[in-house]
Structure 1
Amino acid sequence: MKNNNGNTKLILLHPYIQKQGSSNRLWLLAFISFFTLAFLLTLIYTRESTATTTAATALTATAIGTSSNFNNGALPTTVINTLLHYASKSNDSFHMPYAELKPISDVLRKCSSPCNLLVFGLTHETLLWKALNHNGRTVFIDENRYYAAYIEELHPEIDAYDVHYTTKMKEAKDLMATAKEQIRNECRPVQNLLFSECKLGLNDLPNHVYEVDWDVILVDGPRGDWPDAPGRISPIFTAGVLARSKKGGNAKTHVFVHDFREGLERVYGDEFLCRENLVEETDFLGHYVVEKMDENCFQFCHNKTESATTSSSSSSS
Structure 2
Amino acid sequence: MKSNNTNTKLILLHPSSIHKNGGGGGGLVGVPHRLWLIFFISFFTVAFTLTFINSTIPTYPPVSNHPNLSLASNTPLSPSLADALLHYASISNSTTTHMSSAELNSISASLRRCSPSCNFLIFGLTHESLLWHALNHNGRTVFLDENEFLISKFEQSHPGIEAYDVQFTTKVKEFPELLSQTKAQVRDECRPVQNLLFSDCKLGINDMPNHIYQVPWDVILVDGPRGYFPSAPGRMSAIFTAGVLARSKRGGGSKTHVFVHDFARDVERVSSDEFLCEENLVETVDVLGHFLVDRMEVHSSSGFCTNSTSSSSKTSSVADDDVADERK
Q: Are residues 52 and 186 of structure 1, via their aligned partners in 2, closer, same or farther at CA, if it must alter by over 3 Å?
A: same
Counterpart selection for 2:77 from 64, 69, 75: 75
Calculate the TM-score normalised by the size of structure 1: 0.82
Kindly provide the amino acid, as one letter, of the partner of residue 76 in structure 1. S
- 1:13 and 2:23 equivalent? yes
- Give the match's secondary structure for 2:290: strand
Shift of 1:303: 2.7
Whichever structure has more helix as a proportion of its residues is 1
1:278 and 1:238 map into 2 onto residues whose CA distance is 17
> Equivalent residue for 1:302?
306
> Equivalent residue for 1:152?
155
1:38 and 1:220 map into 2 onto residues whose CA distance is 71
Kindly provide the amino acid, as one letter, of the partner of residue 117 in structure 2. P
> Equivalent residue for 1:204?
207
1:298 and 1:41 map into 2 onto residues whose CA distance is 84
Q: Are residues 126 and 36 of structure 1, via their aligned partners in 2, closer, same or farther at CA, if it must alter by over 3 Å?
A: farther
- 1:132 and 2:135 equivalent? yes
1:38 and 1:151 map into 2 onto residues whose CA distance is 58
Contact 2:77 2:116 in 1 (8 A): no
Shift of 1:298: 2.4
Counterpart selection for 1:60 from 66, 78, 82: 66
- 1:266 and 2:242 equivalent? no
> Equivalent residue for 1:314?
none
2:149 and 2:173 map into 1 onto residues whose CA distance is 26
Kindly provide the amino acid, as one letter, of the partner of residue 82 in structure 1. A
Larger deviation, residues 252-261 vs 281-290: 281-290
> Equivalent residue for 1:170?
173
Contact 2:93 2:99 in 1 (8 A): no
Paired positions, count: 289
Kindly provide the amino acid, as one letter, of the partner of residue 307 in structure 2. N
Shift of 1:16: 5.3
- Give the match's secondary structure for 1:105: helix
> Equivalent residue for 1:3?
none
Unaligned runs of 5+ in 2: 1-19, 311-328
> Equivalent residue for 1:247?
250
> Equivalent residue for 1:315?
none
Q: Are residues 29 and 120 of structure 1, via their aligned partners in 2, closer, same or farther at CA, if it must alter by over 3 Å?
A: farther
- Give the match's secondary structure for 1:52: coil
**Deviations for 1:102-148, whole angstroms, at most 9, x for unmatched residues?**
00001101114311000001111111111111211111001111111
Kindly provide the amino acid, as one letter, of the partner of residue 300 in structure 1. F
Unaligned runs of 5+ in 1: 1-9, 309-317
Calculate the TM-score normalised by the size of structure 2: 0.79
Kindly provide the amino acid, as one letter, of the partner of residue 65 in structure 1. S
Shift of 1:12: 7.0
- 1:185 and 2:188 equivalent? yes
- Pairs within 5 Å for 1:270-289: 270-289=273-292
Contact 1:260 1:282 in 2 (8 A): no
Q: Are residues 52 and 242 of structure 1, via their aligned partners in 2, closer, same or farther at CA, if it must alter by over 3 Å?
A: same
- Give the match's secondary structure for 2:229: coil
Percentage of pairs with the same residue? 53
Contact 2:197 2:207 in 1 (8 A): yes
> Equivalent residue for 2:10?
none
1:48 and 1:208 map into 2 onto residues whose CA distance is 52
2:217 and 2:21 map into 1 onto residues whose CA distance is 106
User: What is the RMSD of the two structures over their aligned residues, measured on CA atoms?
Assistant: 2.8
- Give the match's secondary structure for 2:277: helix
